[in-house]
Structure 1
Amino acid sequence: MLTDLEIEQLESKYLNKFYHFLKYVEDEMMYGFQTKERIRNDWQSRYGNGQAISDFAVGAERIIYSLFNGKGIGQPNSAPVGADMFFEVDDAFIHIDLKTVQTDNIGDYTTSIFVGENQNSYKAEIKQSNGQSFNPVRNYNPALPTYYNQGTNEEKICLSFFVTILYEAGNLNILNINLLSMPNGQLEPIYGSSVLRAGKNPGKVRFNFGAVSDFMLLSNKKRLKVVYFNEDMDPSYLKRLSFIESIKNIQ
C-alpha cells in the first residue's frame, strides 16, 4: 500500500496531467461544443428547448471523451463498475466522470457536485451542514475500492477525477469548465466527513470540493483546476462562482 503522502502525490500528478491536456486541446474542445449549432434546426425542433438542454450533457460527453480516448492516455477497462471513463496506467486505475449543470441549477455546481457510488472510493459518515450527525447516522459506502487487486503483486491505487461544465440554460453556451480530484478513500482519517455533503436523497452524496480544495499533505496545491472561465458571463453568475474564480486567480 502507498503512504497517504504518496497517494496525494499521485492524485496531484494526474490532476496536473489532465489539466494540461485539456488546456492543450482547449480550442478543439470549444469548437466541438459549438458543432451543435451547424445542425440546430434539425435537433431543436425535435427535442424542444427543455429536452435539448437536459440532453446537452450527452453531446458534451461525446466531445470530452473523444479527446481523451484519442490521446490514448491508458488502457480502457471494461469492468461494469466505474465512471464513464475508466482506464489503467502504470501506477494507478483512473476514473473520470463528466458532470454538466445548467445555470438554472447553478447552486448544484458552485462548491459541490453530485457523485455516484460507482465513481469514488471515499467511505465515510455523511454529516449535516452544521457538522452534526444525522439521526439515524448516515454512512456512505461507495462501490469502488481504494485499491484494485489489493494485497497482490498487481495492486494499484484507485483515483477519481471529475470534469465539471456549467452552461447557460438559454443558449447552451459554456461558462466554466473545471477539473476536480476527489480524495482516495484511504485518506478518510485526514479529511474526515468534510469530503462528503448530503445529497437530495438519503444515501446519496455530493463531493464537497469547496471544503477540501487543498491537498492536505502537499504545499500550495489545489484539488481544483479551472480549465475555462468565461469572464464575460452574466454578473449574477460571476457572483455565484466567486469561489471557483478565486481558485482560477491563484492557480
Structure 2
Amino acid sequence: MAKITNEIKEIEFWEHETLENIYFTIYQDLNKMIEGLNSKDKIKDDWINAFNRVDKKRQNSDFARGAERIYFWLFSQFGKPNSSPIGADMFFETHRAFVHIDIKTAKLDNPSDYKGKIPISENQTSYSSKKKRFNTNLPVYYNEGKKNQKLCLTYVINIVYHEEGDNFKIKAIYLIAIPNGALYSVYGDDVIGQGKVKGKSFRFVYKNNPHFELIKGKPYRVKRIFLDEDIKEKDIIGFEL
C-alpha cells in the first residue's frame, strides 16, 4: 500500500460521515420510503400492459426511474440539487462536498447486478485504475485548487426486487459508498470487476473489501436499509454485516 497522507484520510473520513448522513436521511423515513416504492401498485392496472410490452432491460430501467422519484422526495432537504448533466441520478451540493447518489435496481434472478458487486458507469465515479482501463467522468474534487474546492463523493442505493407475474416485490435495499478516486492507493484493483460496457464502466466488487480501511474500527461501506424476512443477507451482498 502506498503512503497514506492526511488528505487521503480526510477524504475517507468525509466519505464515511456522508454515508451515515445519507443512511439517517433514509432510515428516519423508512416506512415512508417503503410506502412510496410500493405506491405503483395502486395504479398497476393502468401501466402494467405498457410495461410488459418492452424488453427486460428497459423494464429494469423503468423500474429504477419510478424508484428515483421516491428518493428525490425523501432527499428534498439533504442538500442543494445540482443541474450538471454529468453525474448520478441524484446530485447534491452540501457544505463539505458534491454528493452523487445513484439508484440501481436488480432483479433477484440476476445476481450479476448485486451479490457483493454493483455496476458503476463512467458518470457515477471518480475511481479509476492504471491497469484496468475504463473511463471515469467525475473528478476527485470539484473546482480543484480554487477557493470553492469541494470533494466529489459517490454512493449507490441498490434495490433488489422479485418479479412474480405482474407483481414486483422489493426484497432488499442497501446503501453503498464508492471510494473516491484518490483512494485507489488504499483499495487498488481488488474492488474492480468487469463492467457492463467495455471501457465505460466497471463493477465495484465491494465484497472483496467492504470496509472503510482508514477509519477507526473499519466500519462497513455498506448499510442495510431493508431486507425481506425470507432473504439471507449473504445472498444479497455476499457476506453478513
**Is the structural similarity TM-score above 0.5?**
yes
Q: Is the 8 A contact 1:61 1:98 kept in 2?
A: yes
Decide whether aligned partners of structure 1 residues 173 and 4 sit closer, same or farther in structure 2, where only a CA change above 3 A counts. Answer: same
Match of 2:73 in 1: 66
TM-score between both structures, scaled by the size of structure 1 = 0.85
- What are the equivalent positions in structure 2 for 1:91-130 lying under 5 Å apart? 91-125=96-130
Matched, 1:154 2:151: no
Q: Deviations 1:173-220 (Å, cap 9, x if unpaired)? A: 111000010111011111111232112442131111111200111123
Residue 60 of structure 1 deviates from its aligned partner by: 1.2
Residue 3 of structure 1 deviates from its aligned partner by: 1.1
Q: Is the 8 A contact 1:176 1:228 kept in 2?
A: yes
- What are the equivalent positions in structure 2 for 1:177-192 lying under 5 Å apart? 177-192=173-188
Matched, 1:30 2:28: no
Q: Is the 8 A contact 1:150 1:156 kept in 2?
A: yes
TM-score between both structures, scaled by the size of structure 2 = 0.88
Decide whether aligned partners of structure 1 residues 125 and 194 sit closer, same or farther in structure 2, where only a CA change above 3 A counts. Answer: farther
Q: Which amino acid aligns with 2:138?
A: L
- Secondary structure in 1 aligned to 2:223? strand
**Unpaired stretches in structure 1, ≥5 consecutive residues:** 127-137
Q: Percent identity?
A: 37
Q: Deviations 1:67-90 (Å, cap 9, x if unpaired)? A: 112xx2111111111111111111
Matched, 1:243 2:238: yes
Q: Which of the numbers 162, 184, 205 marks the counterpart of 1:168?
A: 162
Q: Is the 8 A contact 1:180 1:225 kept in 2?
A: yes
Q: How many Å separate the matches in 1 of 2:238 and 2:53?
A: 30
Matched, 1:16 2:20: yes
Please provide the CA RMSD for this pair: 2.0
Residue 36 of structure 1 deviates from its aligned partner by: 1.3
Q: Deviations 1:41-66 (Å, cap 9, x if unpaired)? A: 11113332765843222211111122
Q: How many Å separate the matches in 2 of 1:66 and 1:180?
A: 20
Number of residue pairs the alignment of both structures matches: 230
Structure with the bigger percentage of helix: 1
**Unpaired stretches in structure 2, ≥5 consecutive residues:** none
Match of 1:6 in 2: 10
Ranges of 4+ aligned residues in structure 1 off by more than 2 Å: 45-55, 237-244
- Secondary structure in 1 aligned to 2:187? helix
Q: Is the 8 A contact 1:165 1:177 kept in 2?
A: yes
Residue 141 of structure 1 deviates from its aligned partner by: 2.8
- Secondary structure in 2 aligned to 1:210? helix
Q: Which amino acid aligns with 1:151?
A: G
Q: How many Å separate the matches in 2 of 1:200 and 1:108?
A: 10
- Secondary structure in 2 aligned to 1:228? strand
Decide whether aligned partners of structure 1 residues 200 and 95 sit closer, same or farther in structure 2, where only a CA change above 3 A counts. Answer: closer
Q: Which of the numbers 200, 212, 219 marks the counterpart of 1:215?
A: 212
Decide whether aligned partners of structure 1 residues 26 and 49 sit closer, same or farther in structure 2, where only a CA change above 3 A counts. Answer: farther
Q: How many Å separate the matches in 2 of 1:165 and 1:154?
A: 34
Matched, 1:227 2:232: no
Q: Is the 8 A contact 2:87 2:123 kept in 1?
A: yes
Q: Which amino acid aligns with 1:34?
A: N
